[in-house]
Structure formats: structure tokens, C-alpha cells
Chains A and B, each alone.
Chain A
Amino acid sequence: MADTARDPPPAHTDFQELEDGEDLFLEPAVIQESGPASLPAEDISANSNGPKQDSLFDDDPEDLFAEATEEVSLDSPEREVLLSDGPSPAITPITPPTSVITPRIGLAHDDMFTHSSFDEIEEEEGGDSFDMHISVSDPEKVGDGMNAYMAYKVTTKTSMSLFKTDEFSVKRRFSDFLGLHSKLASKYLHIGYIVPPAPEKSIVGMTKVKVGKEDQSSNEFVEKRRSALERYLMRTVKHPILLKDPDVLQFLESSELPRAVSTQALSSAGLLRMVNKAADAVNKMTIKMNESDAWFEEKQQHFENLDVQLRKLHASVESLVCHRKELSVNTAQFAKSAAMLGNSEDHTALSRALSQLAEVEEKIDQLHQDQANADFYLFSELLGDYVRLITAVKGVFDHRMKTWQKWQDSQLLLQKKREAEAKLQFTNKPDKLQQAKDEIKEEIEELEGKVQQGERDFEQISKTIRKEVSRFEKERVKDFKMIIIKYLESLVQTQQQLIKYWDAFLPEAKAIS
């Protein structure tokens, strides 16, 4: 059901979030929508069927598809329409259904509060400056065979008053991270916040680890993932709004976290996600928005360009890493060959010098490998992150379009109703006339409310996006600058090592006589 579980901002805890595993609602038709829904109205029934199905499957803790994953494309998570992800204990108690079915208009008012409170939070942010460091470490394999998984230690070090202690750690698994992202996406994406995407799933990588292959490539995989998870968390908490989200706090602090089962791609939730993704894509093609604000048009173009550039860059760097590894292999082979040559050389001093040369080349080979790793971890991964982030940004723009569309739809509907009302004047059935008139009046009132809400939502999301984009751009530039500096420092180190090695070799070469 309410996959549209919107967790209201922390300041207003009397808003409810729907539990989905629990079958509280016998009638399918109830959905609480606390904000502009990015679901087209028709989805109501689909949604109501959804959770029921979900709960059937999710009840089984040993889900057949446990940890089964699919290679998810770069595009996926952000376009994902909000399917929920298991009960979350931090949720405040659900009040009985009746109070949930509040008229949309009532909720709309609350929404304004919601959004303006976001502003308040951001402003008061200045007081408690951002000082937080999260590290993901100690990957540990838990369990055996196909049910095994990696558990990571998540340590938070902070002086912020938001937290009870300065330093604390918890154990989390990959699906926990995905669950967190899923929750955040469902709450914030549709109102214009750029939610950092979670690291990608990978069947191949995980299978190797599960099967217990203790080799180079599976170690690399685990390290790659660990690093990605760390970056993900840091990005998430750097966002002033997301930092204060109860799900985030719970993720960082609480020692027990319920398993996020519907993050599995091959579960029914996953399938539903795919269906909705497809529906989204179709909708996007048919929405033609009248862009009155040049800023948005310009920004969208900017992000399109950036997307293309980053992908090209990413491909470039990956190929660079490849070539460096090849160079490393060839250098190692040459080192061995030079050693052999030194062995067979019968002039003693020359023989020694050749062996030294072989050693130098071996060390240089190691340097090449280290450099390739730096290329990879610093550059390539960062670029990959940003390619996915840009997708999230584009998603947010899409949500704005959908919001606009909803507003327009309401307007159209309102107009039709008004026309119908006008027509009613000329109807020939006087006895039913009053009743019909009253009905239509009510509908018109409702629709007028909807239209107003739609407009407000649209303005709000536009405002939020502006802020988010400016924040995003600042972060992006900071990120890239920092990485480049780190990368250059790694290059400096390489050159310094090279100098050391050749310096040591030179006297050996000169000693040949």
C-alpha cells in the first residue's frame, strides 16, 4: 500500500507514516498523501494491491530472492517510485484510519508548514556547524554460501548536538544502505531534494565474495564497495535536511535495524519498481511543459551537457587505468628478463648492474600499480558517483515537471466541471437539478482547492530545486578540486619514488668498468 509513505519532517511528529507490512487497512482505497504525489492519480488501486502482495512475500524472512541482485542501470533508483521498505520502528504510532482520511485541502495547509519548516531548519543550521565524519570499515563476512553477506562497521565521529555521543558505531549490511536510500528517496525526491544515490548492486561481485573466493578481485570488490558506501553516507549527511531525518539518525545510531527486504531487485517490490519505472518513462515523453522560467531550462541543458562530459571522462579514466595496468605487467616481465640477462653476463660488475636494473624495474612496476589504483579510487570512482548524482538531479527536474502536470490536470478538470455546471442550468429535469447542482458545487470547490495546492506545490518544488542545485554545484566543485589535489599529490609521490630508485641505481651503473 502506501508506498507513498512520506515521512514528514522531524519537527512535526504527529504526522503519520504508513506501515506497510502491517495490514492495518482492510479497504484498499486509503492512501495518505502528505504532499504532492508524484504518482499519477490512477495508481491508487495499483498501490493498494501492491503492499498486500508485498506483505505476503516479505513475511518470509528467508526470502527466496534474498540478496539476489541485478545489475541496476545508472538510471534506476532515482526514478523509482516510492515503494516502501519494511516497517521502521522509529515511526510514531499510527492513528486509526479515520483521522487519516483528511481532506486533501487540510493536508495541503499542513504541507505549507512542512515546507516552511524546512526553511527554518536550514536557517538555524548556521548555529550548529557541520562537523561530522563517518567511516565504513572492517568488512566481515557473515554466514556461508549463498546466504552469506558482508557486514560493515559504520563509525560516526561528531561534535554536533544532534547526537547523543561523540563517537559511536554500528554494524550494517549492504541492503541496509539501500533501504536507507529507498526511504529517503521516497520522502524527498518528489519534493525536489537531490537525494544522493546509493552504490550500485552487483551480482557478479557479491557472488564471488559469497562463494568464498579469497582472491585479488574479490578483495578489490569489497574495498571498492566499502569506499563507495563511505562516500554515500558522507554525501547524505552533508545535506542539511537529510542529516536530520529520523531514518538517517536511526541508521547511524541504532544497533538493530530491521532488514530492508524490498530492496531486492527480483522480489515483487523490485518488479513493481520496474513497472513503475517504465510507466514513468512513458509519462515523461508525453509531458510537454511550458517552461516559463529560463533558469530551469538553462540548468537542465547544463546538466545534460555535464552528464555527457562526465560519462566521457569516466570512460577515459577507466581506459587509463587499464593501460597503466598493462604497462605494469610489461614492466614486471622486463624486470625478470633483465635479471636473467644479468645472471648470464660474465662480467661481474656489469652483471651486478643488470641485476640492480632488474630490481629497479620491479619497484617501478609496483609504482605503476599503485598509481593505477590511485587513478581508479580517486578519479574513476568519483566520476562514477557524479554520473549517478546527475541522474538524481535530472530526476528531480522530472518531478517538477510531473508536479506541473498534476497542477495542469487539476485545472483542466476544474474547467470541465465549471462547464458542466454551466450546462446544468439548461437541464430539463428540475427535481434532480438541485441535487446535481450541489454535487457539482462540492466537486468544484474540491477541485479549486486542488488547483491551488498544485500551484503551491509547483512553486515550492521550484524553489527547493533552485536551492538544491546551487548547493549541489558548490559541493561538486569542492569535491573535484579536492580529488584533483589528492591525485596530484599521488603523482608527486610517484615521481619522488622514481627519483629515489634511479638515484640509487646511477652509482651502480657508473661502477661498471
Chain B
Amino acid sequence: HTETHTHTHTDSLLPRAVNVDLQTDATLQVDISDALSERDKVKFTVHTKSTLPNFKQNEFSVVRQHEEFIWLHDSFVENEDYAGYIIPPAPPRPDFDASREKLQKLGEGEGSMTKEEFTKMKQELEAEYLAIFKKTVAMHEVFLCRVAAHPVLRKDLNFHVFLEYNQDLSVRGKNKKEKLEDFFKNVVKSADGVLVAGVKDVDDFFEHEKTFLLEYHNRVKDASAKSDRMIRSHKSKKLFYNLQDAVASWELMQLMFFLKVSELFEKTRKIEARVAADEDLKLADLLKYYLRESQAAKDLLYRRSRSLVDYENANKALDKARAKNRDVLQAETSQQLCCHKFEKISESAKQELIDFKTRRVAAFRKNLVELAELELKHAKGNLQLLQSCLGVLKGNT
């Protein structure tokens, strides 16, 4: 039985903040320095370095699990004070099921293949598992870094508890009842969202942002799905094995010629695998991340529109109260509250959306440049291998 305990250390992690271009601030630096994968959970070691007075020490670490990240994210979402900010999207749940299943199947089928085949497949599946593992660590880290970089969110109490409290936060995952509640909340929210979206905004900036985000979000979703599919076929084991198989059996012809070719295909296969992995990182992950961020931005706009509607309703209520000369004071207070809330959200939302664009452009630039550079590197590597092999083969014949 294949039980996997995967351990990663800082150096072996993917470059930090892959999809987000963040300013690192000496006053608060957060990273995931270590991670351990056990049978059904992943344990992240969250490491903090800070000069802020809020913390007892300047440097400390705690161990957190995925549910605790979600708890933190949800607490932001539910906090009325943060209505005017883009809440950094929660990291996706670590999903090793597929990979684990494959490893298990391999274990079961061990008897039916040769030792070589088995080792080769095992190595590849393990590499796959490791890649998924590294990705999930990166996603969780990005979330924390975004929070730490945000001028307001970084001061959040729950965040500090998350970073510092070295006991289990006792945050259990949602039970069925709560999940059902969430489901209904979402249904109500989307219905509401449709109503609210229909309200035309006086402010040009927000009107434009609304239209833009709606379309952008949908297209990113599509591009993300298609890029996944493309990369999956590029990764397809069959594409690689077949060519290898193909030539490996030529060894039966027992000529140096064919052995050389077989070697060549083995090498180019490895390069192709790296190409697919790089495309996955630089392209697919980028799109996935911005899918989530654009959703968070949409949520912000929704909250603003909601508060606008509340404000307008409060105005109407005030007028009515004044007309009837009843409960005027109450209506006035309520109207003032709504107005204040709306203005506060609008102000911060504007800045948030501008920042979002800046981040997005920077992230795309970085990743597209790196993608092109990697593609070039691998193509040149492949070319060199092919040409040198051809040179040898032609020389021999």
C-alpha cells in the first residue's frame, strides 16, 4: 500500500507569490516554511516575521490546516467593516484524491507489470503528487501574503490569532446543516445580485467596472477551462509513452542506430513533460487565480450596489416619514447610516478595483514573459538534442 508522507521545505517550494505581484513589507512577512501531507490532511507551517508591537515575538511559527484558512477567509467576508474591500480569495481545498487513487491502482497492479515499468510509473505518479502538493502550498501562501499586504486586513484580530495562537483553533469544517445554510445564502445572494445589478450606477467608474468585470470573469472562466484541457492533453502520458514504446521495441533490431533514437525519445519526452508542467504553472494557474480574484471583485461590487439600494430605500423611507411626520428621527439616523456606509464602501472600492487592475496586469506580464522564456528554453533544448542526434545518425549511415 502506498502511503504518502510528503514533506517540503522552503527552498523546494515554487517561487513565492506566483500569481501576485506584492510589495514585501518588513513590518509583516508571512510565508509557509514547511508542509506535511498525511493521509487525509495537509499541515502547513505558517511562519511569521514581524516588527509590529501586536505580537509577543518577532518571529514565530504555528501549524495550520486548510479548514483554518477557510475560517479566516469567512470571517473577513462576514465582517461588515470589510465590505468595501476585495477579500482575497480562499485557497482551494487540497485535492489528492485523484493522485492517490492512481498510486493505489498502481500498487494493486504491481504484479502485472515488469519491475522497470513499475518503477517508472511509480516515479511519475510520485512526481505528479509532489507537483499537486507544491501547488496547494503555494495557493495557501498567496492567500496569507495578500492579507498581510492589505493595509486594513493585515490589522485584523482574527488574522493575528491565526498567525500566533499556537494551539489548534478548533475550527471544524461545516457540518451538513451549515453547508445547507450556505447553499441557501448563495442562492439568495445570486438572485439578489441579479436585481441589484440591474440598478444603473450614477458613477461612470463603477458602471464601467461592473460591465467589465462581468464579461471578464466569464471569459477568464472559459480560458481557464480550455487551458486546463489543452495542458492535460499535452501532459497525456500516452503521448509520451507511445513514442518511447515505439522505439524501445526497435532495440530488437539490435543496431546502435535505433538505440540512439530510443535514447533521444526518452530525453525529448522528459523535456515535453517539463513544458507541460511549466505551461500549467504559468498559464493555467494564472487564469485560475484570476478567476477567483475577479469573483471576489464582483462580490465587492455586489456589496456596494446592495448598500446603494439600501441607501436609496432609506432615502425613500425618510421622505415618507417626513411626509407623515412620524418617526422622522429614526428615519434620519437610518438614512445617515446607510449614506455613510455607502460612501465608505465606494471610496475604498474604487481604490481596491484600481489596485486589482494593477496587480492583474503585473501578474499577467510576469507570467506571460516567464511562459515565453520557458517555452523558448525547452524548444531550444529539444532542438539541440534532435540536431545532435541527427548528426550522429546521418554520419553513421
Contacts and interface: CB of A to CB of B under 8 A. Distances in A.
Interface stretch (B147-155, B156-164, B241-249): B241-249
B389 interface: yes
B246 A350 contact: no
B216 A344 contact: yes
Nearest to B225: A337
Interface in B366-394: 368-369, 371-373, 375-376, 379-380, 382-383, 386-387, 389-390, 393-394
A481 B397 CA distance: 8
Counting chain B CB atoms within 10 Å of each CB, the highest count among A317, A350, A509 belongs to A509
A498 B379 contact: yes
User: Which secondary structure dominates where chain A touches chain B?
Assistant: helix
B386 A488 contact: yes
Interface string A302-334: 000110010011001101100110110011011
Contacts of B376: 499, 502-503, 506
Nearest to A330: B230
A499 B381 CA distance: 10
B113 interface: no
A492 B382 CA distance: 8
Contacts of A503: 376
Contact of B229 (A317, A324, A333, A499): A333
B226 A333 contact: yes
A460 to B, nearest CB: 30
A502 B279 CA distance: 13
Interface residues of B, number: 55
A333 B372 contact: no
B222 A484 contact: no
Nearest to B261: A484
A330 B225 CA distance: 10
Contacts of B246: 313, 316-317, 320, 379
Counting chain A CB atoms within 10 Å of each CB, the highest count among B238, B264, B372, B397 belongs to B372
A509 B380 contact: no
Contacts of B255: 477
B253 A305 contact: no
A379 B265 CA distance: 15
Contacts, number: 156
Contact of B369 (A340, A379, A496, A506): A506
Nearest to A511: B365
Contacts of A379: 246
A141 to B, nearest CB: 36
Contact of B393 (A347, A485, A492): A485
Interface string B232-274: 1110101100110110011011010110010010001000000
B361 A512 contact: yes
B383 A313 contact: no
Contacts of B252: 305-306, 309
Contact of A327 (B212, B233, B245, B365): B233
B321 interface: no
B219 interface: yes
Contacts of B369: 506, 509-510
Contacts of B390: 485, 488-489, 492
A103 B393 CA distance: 57
A338 B368 CA distance: 12
Nearest to A478: B397
A217 interface: no
B364 interface: yes
Contacts of A480: 250, 253, 258
B222 A488 contact: no
A492 B386 contact: yes
A51 to B, nearest CB: 45
Nearest to B362: A512
Contact of B242 (A316, A481, A512): A316
Given A353-B364, A499-B379, A334 B242 contact: no
B223 interface: yes
Q: Which 10 A-B pairs rank lowest in CB-CB distance, beginning with the nearest?
A: A512-B365, A509-B368, A330-B230, A334-B226, A495-B383, A320-B242, A327-B233, A337-B223, A498-B379, A506-B372
Given A491-B268, A506-B372, 14 more contacts: A313-B246, A330-B229, A330-B233, A333-B226, A340-B222, A341-B223, A345-B216, A481-B257, A491-B382, A491-B386, A492-B386, A492-B390, A495-B382, A499-B379
26 contacts: A305-B252, A306-B252, A309-B250, A313-B250, A320-B243, A320-B246, A323-B233, A327-B236, A330-B230, A337-B226, A340-B222, A341-B219, A343-B219, A344-B216, A344-B219, A485-B394, A488-B386, A488-B389, A492-B383, A495-B380, A499-B379, A506-B369, A506-B373, A509-B368, A510-B369, A513-B365
Interface of B: 212, 215-216, 219-220, 222-223, 225-227, 229-230, 232-234, 236, 238-239, 242-243, 245-246, 249-250, 252-253, 255, 257-258, 261, 264, 268, 357, 360-361, 364-365, 368-369, 371-373, 375-376, 379-380, 382-383, 386-387, 389-390, 393-394, 397
